Each structure stands twice: as structure tokens, then as C-alpha cells.
């Protein structure tokens, strides 16, 4: 991409990238938003450059139920390829759920986008700004901006509205072992855990600590301490005094509440406790128990 073209794209911002819908060849659906149009699902195709790769099956199932009850409230966004083909810019989850719900057509915003580069940027930026992507998908998105469009961190920062350090922190996650990246994508550990593990250069050691995070439910702060020491816990049953306290406290609280208890420590060392009672009567019984 030339510097002149790059500057033009970045200067327009997201709203300009999305543009105004090209509606000259379509009849307006008066029951929908004035800028949306009903298009047959058979004419809609997924975007091969879609940055989102993880589609939670439970989310899709819930969306199917909602669509059957209420229909599509928010139209998806597409671009016209020809009279019989439209490519999704955003809204693939709604598209997938609509097919499962056996809808014949769905409302769409039609954007006039011809340049493949603009299409990719539009999809990436919209997903990032809507926080629909997991940390690794965001990291891969930023990497694609760098590798495919020769954008630097400053340019990406202006394009997506995030500060430079945030973008750099996401990109650094790609240095992690692929197994750990998968763990972040699947929600087994947080981005904070991942950032702590980046400081461990030995990939084998990264995996050992990762497994310990999962098995012992280590907090980010505990993980940071282990990473700074650059060594894994001595065995699979983390034997530090802090871990023993957490395990002992959890067991005692679960016995007291007669319910599963979760203890979490934030980055400042503050601990929160959460539990669930089956009913208000169980809660009342517990209150009577401790009041006595």
C-alpha cells in the first residue's frame, strides 16, 4: 500500500470506512431500519478475511432462540459482489444463527466497498471496537495490519483508537507457546496470565507453569511471582504457603456454606469470595445458622 493511500485510509476513520449504504438498486424494507434491506440468505457469503475465528456454540444457540422469538433486531453489514452475491463485513454470528433458525432472508446494511484492503480493515476495526474478539484474535489482527499493510504501531493506534502500549501488549501474546495461546482463547487463563508468562523464555517451562495455573487456579499475581523467579512450582500440588491458605480457606468456606466457593485475588492482592445458594430459603437458613 502506498504511503499516500495509507494516509488517506487512516485519515478517514471508521465511520468513513464504513461509508454510506449504496441503495440505488434495492427496495427499502419499510419494516426495518430505513437504511437496511432484506436479502436472501442464499445470496450471502461469509467473509474469508473474517478476523473472528472462535464462534461459541452456546452463544449461537441462544441467538437462534432470540431470533425465532424476536427476529433480527440489528441488521448485518454486507458488501455487494454482484446481483446474486453479497459478502459479510460484520454480523457472521447473526447470519449463522439465522440459517439454523431457517430464515429465508435477513435485513442487511449494504456498504459500497470495492477495495479488498478497506474490506479487511473494516472487518478488523469493527470487531476490535465492539470487543467481540478474544485476546489472541486481536493480537493476530494487529499482526496482520503490520505484515499485510505495513502499518506501524502508531498507525494502528490511530486506526483502532487504542494506545500504543495496549497494542504492543496484545502482539507480544503471540510469543507464547501455541498451547498457551489456545488456553487464552478458550478462557482457561486471562491475558494477564499470558503477559506474565511471556517473560519466561523457555517454552517448556511456560507449559509447566501454564499447567500449574490451571490445576491450582493461580492468580495473575501468583503467576507473576513464579515467572520472575523463572522456575516452575516444585510439583503439581503447588506447595507455597499462599496456595495452602487458599485451598484451606476454600474448603472451610464450602463446608460452611454447603456450596461451591471461589476465591480470587486481584493484581493488588485483594481477595474476593463468591458462592451460590440454591434458593432464598437456603440463604435464610445459612443466616440463621451463623447468627446462632
Q: Write out pLDDT tens, residues 148-198.
A: 778 899 988 887 778 899 999 999 999 999 889 988 987 888 999 999 999
Check residue 269 and give its pLDDT. 64
Q: How confident is the model at residue 116 (pLDDT cuts 50, 70, 90)?
A: low
Is it the case that residue 141 has pLDDT exceeding 50? Answer: yes
Domains of the chain, with CATH numbers?
Answer: 20-111 (3.90.1530.30), 119-229 (1.10.10.2830), 243-291 (no CATH)
Q: How confident is the model at residue 253 (pLDDT cuts 50, 70, 90)?
A: confident
Separation between Cα atoms, residue 206 and residue 40, nearest integer Å: 49
For the full predicted model, state whether its pTM sits above 0.85. no
As a whole number, the mean pLDDT across the chain is 75
Q: Go through 128-156 and write b for each residue having 16 or more CB atoms within 10 A of its CB, e for each that does not.
A: beeebbbbbbbbbbbebbeeebebebebb
Check residue 159 and give its pLDDT. 77
Q: Which of 92, 126, 137, 224 is catalytic?
A: 92
Q: Which of 92, 112, 107 is nearest to 51 (CA)?
A: 92
Take residue 84 and report the three cell numbers written for it. Answer: 446474486
Check residue 193 and give its pLDDT. 94
How buried is 232 (Cβ within 10 angstroms: 0-12 exposed, 13-18 middle, 19+ buried)?
buried
Q: How confident is the model at residue 289 (pLDDT cuts 50, 70, 90)?
A: confident
How buried is 277 (Cβ within 10 angstroms: 0-12 exposed, 13-18 middle, 19+ buried)?
middle
User: HEC string of 103-128?
Assistant: CCEEEEEEECCCCHHHHHHHHHHHHH
Average pLDDT over residues 265-285: 73
pLDDT in tens, 87-98: 888 788 888 899
224 as an active site residue: the answer is no
Give residues with Cβ within 8 angstroms of 201, minimum separation 6: none
pLDDT in tens, 218-245: 889 888 888 887 655 554 444 445 556 6
Residue the block writes with cell 493511500: 5
Q: Determine which helix (DSSP H) or strand (DSSP E) holds 272, and give its type and residue range.
A: strand 271-275
Amino acid at each position: 500500500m502506498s504511503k499516500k493511500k495509507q494516509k488517506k485510509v487512516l485519515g478517514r476513520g471508521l465511520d468513513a470506512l464504513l461509508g454510506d449504504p449504496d441503495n440505488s438498486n434495492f427496495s427499502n424494507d419499510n419494516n426495518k431500519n430505513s437504511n437496511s434491506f432484506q436479502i436472501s440468505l442464499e445470496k450471502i457469503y461469509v467473509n474469508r478475511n473474517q478476523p473472528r475465528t472462535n464462534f461459541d456454540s452456546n452463544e449461537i444457540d441462544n441467538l437462534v432462540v432470540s431470533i425465532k422469538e424476536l427476529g433480527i433486531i440489528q441488521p448485518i453489514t454486507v458488501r455487494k459482489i454482484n446481483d446474486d452475491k453479497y459478502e459479510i463485513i460484520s454480523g457472521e454470528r447473526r447470519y449463522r444463527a439465522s440459517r439454523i433458525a431457517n430464515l429465508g432472508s435477513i435485513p442487511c446494511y449494504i456498504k459500497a466497498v470495492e477495495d479488498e484492503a478497506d474490506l479487511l480493515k473494516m472487518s478488523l476495526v469493527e470487531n476490535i471496537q465492539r470487543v467481540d474478539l478474544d485476546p489472541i484474535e486481536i493480537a493476530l489482527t494487529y499482526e496482520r495490519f503490520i505484515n499485510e499493510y505495513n502499518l506501524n504501531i502508531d498507525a494502528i493506534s490511530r486506526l483502532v483508537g487504542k494506545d500504543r502500549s495496549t497494542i504492543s501488549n496484545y502482539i507480544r501474546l503471540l510469543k507464547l507457546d501455541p498451547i498457551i495461546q489456545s488456553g487464552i482463547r478458550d478462557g482457561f487463563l486471562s491475558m494477564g496470565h499470558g503477559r506474565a508468562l511471556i517473560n519466561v523464555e523457555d517454552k517448556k517451562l511456560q507449559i509447566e507453569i501454564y499447567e500449574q495455573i490451571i490445576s491450582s487456579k493461580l492468580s495473575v499475581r501468583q503467576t507473576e511471582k513464579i515467572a520472575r523467579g523463572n522456575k516452575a512450582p516444585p510439583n503439581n500440588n503447588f506447595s507455597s504457603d499462599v496456595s495452602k491458605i487458599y485451598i484451606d480457606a476454600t474448603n472451610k468456606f464450602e463446608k460452611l456454606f454447603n456450596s461451591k466457593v471461589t476465591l480470587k485475588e486481584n493484581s493488588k492482592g485483594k481477595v474476593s469470595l463468591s458462592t451460590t445458594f440454591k434458593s432464598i430459603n437456603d440463604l435464610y437458613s445459612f443466616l440463621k445458622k451463623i447468627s446462632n
